[in-house]
Amino acid sequence: MSSLRTDNDTWDIASSVGATAVMVAAARAAETARDGALINDPYAKILVADAGTGAWEYMLDDDFIAKVAEADAELAPLFEHMGNYQAVRTHFFDDFFARAVEAGIRQVVILAAGLDSRAFRLPWPAGTTVYEIDQPKVLEYKSATLAAHRVQPSADRREVPIDLRQDWPAALRDAGFDPAAPTAWLAEGLLMYLPADAQDRLFAQVTELSAPGSRVAAESMGMHAEDRRERMRERFAALTAQFGIDEPMDIAELTYEDPDRAEVADWLSAHGWRAQRVESKDEMRRLDRLVEIVDADEDSFSAFTTAERV
């Protein structure tokens, strides 16, 4: 169990799990600015700039990887891998939503939405409603920041400000959600922050709310070797000290490493869904974004699962 987490912890955009959303947005902003970008997120940079987390803003520097290489040649490919992974992950789930709306789905739920800007940047068909569930302060920051820049959603966006460990299904219904309508669900960058039993409960709740034809997509992480994780901590600490950066929190301290965690595709297949699993490493290779890393932890690679309710 994570040493930084408690059953009733909460956060804003600059602390705990909330700050990881800034890291992801910074990666999306950096990807958007590069040649041959896999995604286009024009709002990510706006959301990072005002977040007040400091360290992640360095990812927006075009020369960041080169500067890291000068300091630690073996760490530079790791940072490149991290950026590529976020780009590939975003691209995969963007495509999931494109296929869902092509199939006629007009109800979308983004679980633990963080600084996800899909409700603003994707070309949703008329009549689409996007529900975003997350901690109240996280949603408040995103809405206020984008409104200040006069950014408008491209769908009927509805906030559901609630912790997923609370009665979020009731809050979702109160926001107008229709359980009788097919829904496209997304659990991106979420499951690793939940204990194994909470993950099972989450998918049971999603299943209960899903009409036939609904779809779900999720990212699941592998187990990390503790000895490699400690080596990475030490090297990141040395790097941040050299750059004069306030060291960001250790994300691994926010996650739950549980060997009994259910494999997502298996759980869904056993509970009324038709599921498919794609290894993230294979998707990165397919998109020519796989980077060879020294001291790689093969078991830590993630998987992307999609499923349809039958």
* Integer Cα distance of 81 and 69 in angstroms: 13
For residue 67, give both structure tokens. Answer: 């500067």
DSSP string, the chain: --TT--TT----TTSHHHHHHHHHHHHHHHHHHSTT-S---TTHHHHHHTS---GGGGGG-TTHHHHHHHH-TTHHHHHHHHHHHHHHHHHHHHHHHHHHHHTT--EEEEET-TT--HHHHS-PPTT-EEEEEE-HHHHHHHHHHHHHTT---SSEEEEEE--TTS-HHHHHHHTT--TTS--EEEE-S-GGGS-HHHHHHHHHHHHHTPPTT-EEEEEE-----HHHHHHHHHHHHHHHHHHTPPPPP-GGGGS---TTPPPHHHHHHTTTEEEEEEEHHHHHHHTT-----TT--GGG--EEEEEEE-
CA distances from 89 to 208, 284, 305 (A): 27, 9, 11
Alpha helices (runs of H) in 151-191, residue ranges in sequence order: 168-174
pLDDT of residue 222: 76
**310 residues of the chain, pLDDT tens digit each:** 444 546 666 656 655 565 778 889 999 999 999 999 999 999 999 998 877 655 555 666 666 667 766 767 677 777 788 889 999 999 999 999 999 999 999 999 999 999 999 999 999 999 999 999 999 999 999 999 999 999 999 999 999 999 998 999 999 999 999 999 999 999 999 999 898 999 999 999 999 999 999 999 999 987 665 666 666 666 666 666 666 666 555 566 677 888 889 999 999 999 999 999 999 999 999 999 998 877 665 655 799 999 999 9
* Integer Cα distance of 37 and 60 in angstroms: 14
Burial of 4 per CB tally in 10 Å (0-12, 13-18, 19+): middle
Residue 164 DSSP label = T
pLDDT of residue 260: 87
For residue 176, give both structure tokens. Answer: 């107008």
- When the candidates are 3.40.50.300, 3.30.428.10, 3.40.50.150, 2.60.40.10, the CATH number that belongs to 14-307 is 3.40.50.150
Domain definitions of the chain by residue range: 14-307
pLDDT of residue 78: 79
CA 279 to chain centre: 16
In the chain, the amino acid numbered 154 is S
